């Protein structure tokens, strides 16, 4: 007996912004689990901006994707066959073997990357790829551990309508912050303000961004959560208070650049304002996961933290879902439903 799986692979390393020509769908035959193995049918997979860094052929803090092989990323699914006593048929789990419909793998191998049993009775399965997963923990670690947020401060968030940014906004607001969000459409801004953001700025129509932020936050910015870079970092620096903190999670505006771009021309303000600017990746902050998840349940139950989603259906649309991360044609967490 074999099981057929469709997979999405990288055909070539993109030059500039990824296109559909960079992706290739393949089919493989999977054997059901043997001893020590599990077979999983993925129901949901995640696409995330960090994956662009794995499409260069260059090793950074993580190895690049291998051409012609199924890519990797967060996925949630159910066990259909099991050869391991600790994992039963029907169990929901999360792994890093996304970009494919089905797989069989040894449990010991899966544990080396990520293997987590899930309780989907209280939280929807796909939320473990968003607010209850890596994006949520990224938001929490960046806001509290790197940004050192203190209740009552003013927080500015770029990419505020994205999976991480929208979680930062809601966490900060629930903890007494004045929150300013930067997003790329009026629709996204309305959603943010309907979920507690004090001022949402459409950076595409705001004109002078420095002035727009100053108008929204005349008291200045204490914590800036950076997801975009470029002009937004420059405008944020102009509005930072003395001893402000900048948590640099990502700079998506530069991920597809084929040549280096000039940095903000006002970096000298880091000195005069005694600012702290620190980059981070979530894998360095796994120790604060229990702290975050202890707060997550009550926040979700009270409606103070919700997950907005954009969903495309079918593995054949995984490439499009990834490309939408860069053209702004999505809100909240970008997901692909595989079943």
pLDDT tens column, 246-286: 999 999 999 999 888 888 999 999 999 999 999 999 999 99
Is the CB of residue 26 less than 8 Å from the CB of residue 103?
no
Whether 247 and 317 map to the same domain: the answer is no
86 and 9 belong to one structural domain: yes
Q: Where are the strands (E) in 54-175, listed by range?
A: 75-82, 92-95, 102-106, 115-118, 154-157
- Alpha-carbon distances of 79 from 32, 33, 76, 326, rounded to whole Å: 11, 10, 10, 33
Residues 65 and 148 in one domain: no
Query: ∠ at Cα 99 (305, 78), nearest 5°?
Result: 70
DSSP for 221-268? EEEEEESS-THHHHHHHHHEEEEEEEEE---GGGTT-SS--PPPTTTT
DSSP symbol at 115: E
Confidence of residue 60 (pLDDT cuts 50, 70, 90): confident
Same domain, 311 and 333: yes
User: Could you tell me if 247 and 192 lie in one domain?
Assistant: yes
pLDDT in tens, 185-226: 999 999 999 999 999 999 999 999 999 999 999 999 999 999
Identify the pLDDT of residue 37: 98
Is residue 117 located within the same domain as residue 238? no
State pTM to two decimals.
0.94
Structure tokens at 217: 């936050």
Q: Is the dihedral of CA 284, 286, 291, 295 positive or negative?
A: positive
Per-residue confidence at 153, pLDDT binned at 50, 70, 90?
very high
The H or E element containing residue 139 is helix 134-140
The total number of structural domains in the chain stands at 2
Rounded to an integer, what is the distance from CA 80 to the centroid of its chain?
28
Q: Which residues contact 49 (CB under 8 A, 6 or more apart)?
A: 250, 252, 255, 325, 326
* Domain match, 45 and 116 both: yes
Q: Same domain, yes or no, for 115 and 8? A: yes
Instruction: For residue 301, count other CB atoms closer than 10 A to its CB.
Output: 10
> Given a cut of 90, is residue 91 above it in pLDDT?
yes
- Do 140 and 203 sit in the same domain of this protein? yes
Q: What is the pLDDT of residue 49?
A: 95
**Reported confidence tier of residue 139, pLDDT bands at 50, 70, 90:** very high
For range 131-140, the mean pLDDT: 97
CATH code of the domain covering residue 60:
3.90.180.10
253 and 332 in a single domain? The answer is no
So what's the pLDDT on residue 87? Answer: 98
Q: Same domain for 144 and 268?
A: yes
Element (H, E) at 40: strand 37-46
Q: Which residue matches tokens 């099981």?
A: 3
| DSSP 8-class letter at 162 | B
The boundaries of the domain holding residue 201 are 134-285+294-298
Q: How confident is the model at residue 35 (pLDDT cuts 50, 70, 90)?
A: very high
- CB of 241 closer than 8 Å to CB of 221: yes
Phi, psi angle pair for 276, to nearest 5°:
-110, 125
CA distances from 96 to 114, 116, 138 (A): 6, 10, 17
Together in a domain, 253 and 324: no
Residue 73 DSSP label:
B
Alpha-carbon gap, residue 168 to 180, rounded angstroms: 11
CATH assignment of the domain containing 269: 3.40.50.720
């Amino acid at each position: 007996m074999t099981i057929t799986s469709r997979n999405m692979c990288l055909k070539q390393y993109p030059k500039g912004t990824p296109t559909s020509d960079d992706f290739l769908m393949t089919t493989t035959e999977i054997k059901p689990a043997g001893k020590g193995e599990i077979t999983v049918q993925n129901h949901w997979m995640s696409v995330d901006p960090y994956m662009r860094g794995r499409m260069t052929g260059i090793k950074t803090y993580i190895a690049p994707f291998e051409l012609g092989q199924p890519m990797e990323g967060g996925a949630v699914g159910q066990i259909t066959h099991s050869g391991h006593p600790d994992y039963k048929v029907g169990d929901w789990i999360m792994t890093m073997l996304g970009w494919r419909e089905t797989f069989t793998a040894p449990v010991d191998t899966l544990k080396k990357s990520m293997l987590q049993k899930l309780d989907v009775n209280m939280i929807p399965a796909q939320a473990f790829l968003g607010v209850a997963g890596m994006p949520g923990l990224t938001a929490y670690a960046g806001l509290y551990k790197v940004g050192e947020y203190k209740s009552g401060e003013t927080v500015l968030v770029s990419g505020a309508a994205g999976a991480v940014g929208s979680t930062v906004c809601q966490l900060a607001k629930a903890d007494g912050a004045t929150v300013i969000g930067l997003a790329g459409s009026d629709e996204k801004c309305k959603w943010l303000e309907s979920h507690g953001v004090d001022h949402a700025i459409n950076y595409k129509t705001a004109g002078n961004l420095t002035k727009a932020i100053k108008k929204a936050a005349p008291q200045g910015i204490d914590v800036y959560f950076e997801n975009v870079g470029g002009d937004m970092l420059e405008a944020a620096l102009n509005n930072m208070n003395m001893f402000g903190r900048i948590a640099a999670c990502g700079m998506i505006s530069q991920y597809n650049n084929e040549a280096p771009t000039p940095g903000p021309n006002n970096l000298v303000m880091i000195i005069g304002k005694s600012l702290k600017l620190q980059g981070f990746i979530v894998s360095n902050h796994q120790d604060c996961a229990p702290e975050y998840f202890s707060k997550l349940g009550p926040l979700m139950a009270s409606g103070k933290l919700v997950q907005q989603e954009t969903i495309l259906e079918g593995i054949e649309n995984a490439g499009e879902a990834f490309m939408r991360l860069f053209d702004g044609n999505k809100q909240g967490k970008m997901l692909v439903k595989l079943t």
